[in-house]
Structure 1
Amino acid sequence: MRVVVIGGTGHIGTYLVPSLVKAGHAVAVVSRGSRRPYRDDPAWRDVEMVTCDREAAEQDGQFGTVIGQLRPDAVVDLTCFTTAQARQLVDALDGQHVVHTGSAWSYGPSAIVPTTEDAPKHPHGEYGINKLAVEQYLMGEQGRVRASVVHPGHISGPGWLPIGPAGNLDPGVIDSLRADGSCLLPDRGGETIHHVHAEDVAGLHQACLGQPDAAAGQSFNSVCTQAFTLRGYAEVVARHFGHEPRLQFVPWDEFVSRVDPEHVEVTLDHIGRAPLHSMEKARTILGFLPKHDVTDTVLEAIDAWVGANRS
């Protein structure tokens, strides 16, 4: 196929684009041209790179035209966040398969776990609400396009710091666990956070492309087959760096008083949703299972971050 990947130099595209090329597809990547992939791969030499500022082109009403002129058989949209963006894309296509990157945030707080794709959705926050609206729009446009939606959890991998054991992106949490195994956690550390390796998110997008009849009209969770509790995550990281865990559990109000407000907000975003999702649908319909387990996913990302930032 000729596959157009929108936003193909980010976390997911770094793995997806070379894999598509190696599978024999002709690939065009549409991006602003301001970012290099996180990993080098000779396959990028065979990729058609198209420089386009999506936001500017959408404001001029030209973004759909840019994509349509590339004459894709399928489109992978990794950077769509609103229904207005999705509508411009759909209006430029004629029945092609569109694989859209949604988000586990579109579910809202976990209720019955593991959360399956048919669970009622009650998102809060602009990002999750918009991602649900895009999914609903695309599923209502079956016929004009053949749409599939992939809902990643906390995307992780070498090149960036993953959501950490305190449910935020505070590098000091990792530094403390490296230094002596210590970590401050809210309450009893029982909330879940659900990571996924960027390579597995890419793999599920590719699985949708490879089985369009099965994937069209469907949404799929994209997470590791297991999730961490905050406590379990902190223990794994402490021991990874050779320490017995020294965890301190404090009531939420005390946690708030001792942690930077920016990090507190991110923690609350994560533990307030306590994501824990099922991968059974992807396995049953597409035969897809993640390659990376949750421990390897976070430790690979942390080790790469430490090597780049703390050496």
Structure 2
Amino acid sequence: MRVVVIGGTGHIGTYLVPSLVRSGHEVVVISRGVRRAYREDPLWEVVQTVACDRGKAEADGVFGAAVAQLNPDAVVDLTCFTPAQACQLVEALDGQHLVHTGSLWSYGPSALVPTTEDAPKEPYGDYGIGKLAIERYLMSQDRVRATVVHPGHISGPGWMPIGPAGNLDPAVIDRLRADGSCLLSDRGGETIHHVHAEDVAGLHQACLEQPDNAAWHSFNSVCTQALTLRGYAALVARHFGHQPKLELVPWSEFAARVGPDQAALTLDHIARAPLFSMDKARAVLGFVPKHSVTNTVLESIDAWVAANRN
């Protein structure tokens, strides 16, 4: 196929684009041209890259037409965040398979776990609400065949994963490395559900290569297990050779000690209590993630430590 990947140099694209080329597809990447892929791969040399500022092109009303003019058989949209963006793209296409990257935040707080794709959705916050609106639009239109992939907390070498405190504070990792200590709220029993970027890419590719099975479906994209905060902290402490020293305090004290920004980020993640099922991707597409959740977070942390070690 000739596949156009919008935003192809980010977390997902850095794995997806070379894998598509390796599988024999012709790939065109649309990006602003300001970011290199996270992983070097010689196959990027045969990828056609089109520089385009999506926001400006959409404001001018020409982005969808610019994608259509590339004559794709399929389109992967990794950077769509509003229904208006999705609509402009869809209205310019004609019958292609469109694989859209959604988010588990489109579900809102989990009620039954592991949460499946047919669960009721009650998102909150602009991001989750917007992703659900896009999904509903794509599943109601008939210009393209649509598939939606909902990643969890995307992790991998090159960026800090959501950490054991449910936020991105590097001091959490520093303390676990130093002596195995970690401050957590309440009992530390909330779950967060990571996924390796390579597996998110792999599920996108499985959808592309099985369009008859994937069209008009959404799929969760996570590791087959999730981590509790306290289990995550203990895992990292032991990884660095320490016995875990977990300090469990009421939420009010936790928020005061970590500060408002990190506390808000923690709450964003733990309030949804994510734990999702991968059964549908396996049953419909035969797709099973390669990376365990423990290997995913430890690989990410080790790469981050190596890149930031003083």
Same fold (TM over 0.5): yes
Q: How big is each residue's C-alpha offset from its partner over 1:50-86, in whole Å with a ceiling of 9 and x where there is no partner?
A: 0000000000000011101000000000000000000
**1:101 matched residue in structure 2:** 101
**2:158 matched residue in structure 1:** 159
Q: Which amino acid in the other structure matches residue 303 of structure 2?
A: A
- The 3-state SS of whatever aligns with 2:9 is coil
Task: Report how far residue 310 of structure 1 moved.
Answer: 1.7
Q: How big is each residue's C-alpha offset from its partner over 1:260-308, in whole Å with a ceiling of 9 and x where there is no partner?
A: 2110000000110010000000000000000000000000000000000
Q: How big is each residue's C-alpha offset from its partner over 1:133-152, in whole Å with a ceiling of 9 and x where there is no partner?
A: 000000001x3100000000
- The 3-state SS of whatever aligns with 1:36 is coil
**1:191 matched residue in structure 2:** 190
Q: Does 1:4 align with 2:4?
A: yes
**2:66 matched residue in structure 1:** 66
**1:126 matched residue in structure 2:** 126
- The 3-state SS of whatever aligns with 2:106 is helix
Could you tell me how far apart the structure 1 residues matched to 2:24 and 2:227 are?
37
Q: Does 1:55 align with 2:51?
A: no
Q: Which runs of 4+ in 1 moved over 4 A?
A: none
Superposition map of 1:1-311 within 5 A: 1-141=1-141, 143-311=142-310
Could you tell me how far apart the structure 2 residues matched to 1:260 and 1:223 are?
29
Could you tell me how far apart the structure 1 residues matched to 2:214 and 2:83 are?
21
Q: Which amino acid in the other structure matches residue 5 of structure 1?
A: V
Q: How big is each residue's C-alpha offset from its partner over 1:185-230, in whole Å with a ceiling of 9 and x where there is no partner?
A: 0000000000000000000000000100000000000000000000
Q: Which amino acid in the other structure matches residue 36 of structure 2?
A: R
Q: Which amino acid in the other structure matches residue 95 of structure 2?
A: G
Structure 1: which 5+ runs fail to align? none
Could you tell me how far apart the structure 2 residues matched to 1:310 and 1:40 are?
21
Q: Which amino acid in the other structure matches residue 276 of structure 1?
A: L
Could you tell me how far apart the structure 2 residues matched to 1:54 and 1:308 are?
31
Q: Which amino acid in the other structure matches residue 134 of structure 1?
A: I
Q: How big is each residue's C-alpha offset from its partner over 1:119-173, in whole Å with a ceiling of 9 and x where there is no partner?
A: 00000000000000000000001x3100000000000000000000000000000
Could you tell me how far apart the structure 2 residues matched to 1:110 and 1:178 are?
32
- The 3-state SS of whatever aligns with 1:159 is coil
Could you tell me how far apart the structure 2 residues matched to 1:160 and 1:295 are?
16
Q: How big is each residue's C-alpha offset from its partner over 1:100-135, in whole Å with a ceiling of 9 and x where there is no partner?
A: 000000000011000000000000000000000000
Q: Which amino acid in the other structure matches residue 197 of structure 1?
A: H
Could you tell me how far apart the structure 1 residues matched to 2:15 and 2:255 are?
37
Q: What is the RMSD of the two structures over their aligned residues, measured on CA atoms?
A: 0.4
Could you tell me how far apart the structure 2 residues matched to 1:149 and 1:286 are?
13
Could you tell me how far apart the structure 1 residues matched to 2:93 and 2:56 are?
20
Same amino acid, percent of matched pairs: 76
The total of aligned residue pairs comes to 310
Q: Which amino acid in the other structure matches residue 129 of structure 1?
A: I
Task: Report how far residue 231 of structure 1 moved.
Answer: 0.3
Could you tell me how far apart the structure 1 residues matched to 2:103 and 2:14 are?
18
Could you tell me how far apart the structure 2 residues matched to 1:161 and 1:310 are?
13
- The 3-state SS of whatever aligns with 2:12 is helix
Task: Report how far residue 256 of structure 1 moved.
Answer: 1.0
- The 3-state SS of whatever aligns with 2:287 is coil
Could you tell me how far apart the structure 1 residues matched to 2:129 and 2:123 are?
5
